[in-house]
Amino acid sequence: MTMSGPQIERAYETPFIRQFNIFMPNRVGRLSELLAVLDEAEVEVAGLSVVDSADWAVVRMIFTDVGKARAKLADAGVAFTESDVLAVALHDIDTFSLLCKALVAAELNIQFAYPLFLRHNNYPVLVFHTDDHVLSAQLLTKRGFTLLDHEDM
């Protein structure tokens, strides 16, 4: 008789959104050119943040179809990386304040945040990144916040 090890089920899966980090020269018209490439391929932009410096910009983007966006960016020769971010539905006017208080109590830092263009069940959505997104997600979920993943978009 062979014995197998215990069956382990994943008790918790972190809800996250896939963010694309696009590096481009900080020149007039570059963002417009990028959006034209995405529009041509019918890639829907769900969120956008631009951080610029004198010569370069980092464009953070969320897409409704990650695979399609990845393929189009690669085909167009656009330099990018991908990262996981959290997204929370802001049900009440004080949801963001409560979120910040919960993270501060756990000594977690928000590194950046920006809103999505899309809404979830008619609520605005905030994308954010913390020091530890797994711990942040567990903490916020236990406190009743609505965290989203790509299936929610």
Regarding whether 23 and 62 lie in a shared domain, the answer is: yes
Cα separation of 68 and 65, whole Å? 6
Regarding whether 28 and 63 lie in a shared domain, the answer is: yes
The verdict on residue 73 lying in a domain is: yes
Q: Which residue has the tokens 């590194």?
A: 111
Q: What is the pTM of this model?
A: 0.84
Regarding whether 110 and 59 lie in a shared domain, the answer is: no
The verdict on residue 29 lying in a domain is: yes
Summarised one tens digit per residue, pLDDT across range 74-87 is: 999 999 999 999 99
What was the pLDDT predicted at 94? 87
Residue 46, pLDDT > 70, answer: yes
Summarised one tens digit per residue, pLDDT across range 20-32 is: 999 998 889 999 9
Regarding whether 91 and 73 lie in a shared domain, the answer is: no
Cα separation of 30 and 26, whole Å? 7
Question: What is the span of the domain harbouring residue 70?
Answer: 17-83
Regarding whether 134 and 117 lie in a shared domain, the answer is: yes
At 48, the pLDDT band (50, 70, 90 cuts) reads very high
Contact 47, 115 (CB under 8 A): yes
Summarised one tens digit per residue, pLDDT across range 100-129 is: 999 999 999 999 999 999 999 999 999 999
Number of domain units in the chain? 2
Q: What percent of the chain has pLDDT over 70?
A: 92
**CATH number for the domain that contains residue 60:** 3.30.2130.10
Contact 20, 58 (CB under 8 A): no
